[in-house]
Structure 1
Amino acid sequence: MSDIKTDWPSSLDDNELDELDNYLRLHARDGHLLLDGVHGLLSALSVGPVQVLPEEWLPEVLHEPFADEAEGNRMLALLAKLNDSISAELDVDAYEPILGEMDTDTGPMLSAAGWCEGFSRGIDLRAGLWEKRLADDPSLMEMLGPVMALAVDEGILSAETEFEKLSDEEYDECLAQLPAVLGAVSHYWYEHPATEAEIDAFNQTGDTSNDHAAPPRQRSGHWVH
């Protein structure tokens, strides 16, 4: 786990991250997002074309009633703080993705599977806007290259052509590029916002489907930030 300390009040400390992580693990079912996935989801929404309100993304994270009001208020506060921390970190070039840690024969390794799954679901919440712009502007697709490579490598996205698995070095390089990728994508949508026509088309279709996403992969291990 990183020992880097943040200086802005919106970021969760390690104890708060542990608390949220434990809650999500305790209530997780097949296909539910864990902390790394929630961070990926909120990261996609933070850098996306339009605002997505909590009432729309919370159902992607919470799937059952809280045991009591105090617990519910606490988890909602932690999720709100996590959401706020992403834009705060991006603003000062201090964003770090929360990643999974997998046990292997050679020791623990970082895994972007959960983060990529969450990021994919975040894009799916505004799929129509993302897909149209990705089709119309190759530069946006190029910016997202490292995310796409990790997602395909982890089986989150399917490749149209045969895709060779990333080497360990290539995988680590893609991980290292994630903060710059998110910063660039956020700047892209700021400089080239969704047009009224694009938003109107999205609103008319109500496209929040997840039909084109690959089935969620099963994950284990602990988060690393």
Structure 2
Amino acid sequence: MTTTTNKADWPSSLDDSELDELDNYLRAHAQDGHLLLDGVHGLLSAIAVGPIRVLPEEWLPEVLHEPFADEDEGNRVLALLAKLNDSISAELDVDAYEPILGEVETESGPALSAAGWCEGFSRGIDLRAGLWEKRLADDPSLMEVLGPVMALAVDEGILSAETEFEKLNDEEYDDCLAQLPAVLAAVNHYWSGNPATEAELDALNHTNQSKQEQTPPPRHRSGHWVH
């Protein structure tokens, strides 16, 4: 079924110049292991379709790692991040979501890469790890829905597989990329129809209170964003 929306209802996503501006800022301040634009989009995508709300003060430390040069710069970057964040849910609402992916050089020329996006998506899940992990263990249907994301993440070395995993060929990789919008919509629908229970939330609160801060090992990534 095709959904028709009025132009006024279409999500206000970042235009190319705004994406360039945010991309340039992130690159100028990135160190090894920091998320670039594709990773930030993956992070915010996981948050948008996740089980419960994640406040900006929780996810911003995953994106910003040093003080702003001045107040105007800070306000501008925060405004761009807020707009990017808001656009994801709006795009999902009208079936217009597209992941921001990286671009890497291969022997046959430039190719899309999900490495950064998957790294960000993984970190978004980590922000509510207790809920995700318990539900993934208890409900195989959620794992099945996330299959294309998991396949890409394992292929890129973001996640480790318990069993030997054969690398995706180019056709399989592209097919998983093409499925990302449908996966996000399905995960969003899953958590809307199967919200976190009180027992799961109580367990999460207990875990958060007792968990000590851990710094994840840095990951190296290069490439350019494309949309």
- TM-score range, shorter-chain basis? over 0.9
Counterpart in 1 of 2:135? 133
Residue 104 (structure 1) shift: 1.4
SS in 1 for 2:51: coil
Number of matched pairs: 219
Alignment TM-score, normalising by the size of structure 2: 0.93
Question: Any conservation in 1 of the 2:131–2:196 contact (CA below 8 Å)?
Answer: yes
Give the letter for the 1:20 counterpart: L
Counterpart in 2 of 1:3? none
Counterpart in 2 of 1:69? 71
Counterpart in 2 of 1:191? 193
Counterpart in 1 of 2:112? 110
Counterpart in 2 of 1:123? 125
Please point out which of 8, 12, 15 is paired with 1:13. 15
Please point out which of 156, 161, 171 is paired with 1:159. 161
The alignment yields a C-alpha RMSD, in angstroms, of 1.7
Alignment TM-score, normalising by the size of structure 1: 0.93
What are the Cα deviations for residues 186-222 of structure 1, in whole angstroms up to 9, with x where unaligned?
0000000001110111011107778697x45322221
Q: Does 1:179 align with 2:178?
A: no
Give the letter for the 2:184 counterpart: L
Question: Any conservation in 1 of the 2:39–2:121 contact (CA below 8 Å)?
Answer: yes
SS in 2 for 1:102: strand
What are the Cα deviations for residues 136-189 of structure 1, in whole angstroms up to 9, with x where unaligned?
000000000000000000000000000000000000000000000000000000
Question: Any conservation in 2 of the 1:125–1:209 contact (CA below 8 Å)?
Answer: no
Calculate percent identity across the aligned residue pairs: 84
Gaps in structure 2 of 5+ consecutive residues:
1-6
Gaps in structure 1 of 5+ consecutive residues:
1-5
Question: Any conservation in 2 of the 1:50–1:194 contact (CA below 8 Å)?
Answer: yes
Q: How many Å separate the matches in 2 of 1:196 and 1:87? A: 25
Counterpart in 2 of 1:96? 98
Residue 10 (structure 1) shift: 2.6
The structure-2 alpha-carbon separation of the partners of 1:223 and 1:209, relative to structure 1 and needing over 3 Å to count, comes to: farther
* Deviation larger for 7-16 or 51-60: 7-16
Q: How many Å separate the matches in 2 of 1:209 and 1:155? A: 26
Q: How many Å separate the matches in 2 of 1:101 and 1:157? A: 20
SS in 2 for 1:109: strand
Q: Does 1:45 align with 2:47?
A: yes
Q: How many Å separate the matches in 1 of 2:153 and 2:106? A: 20
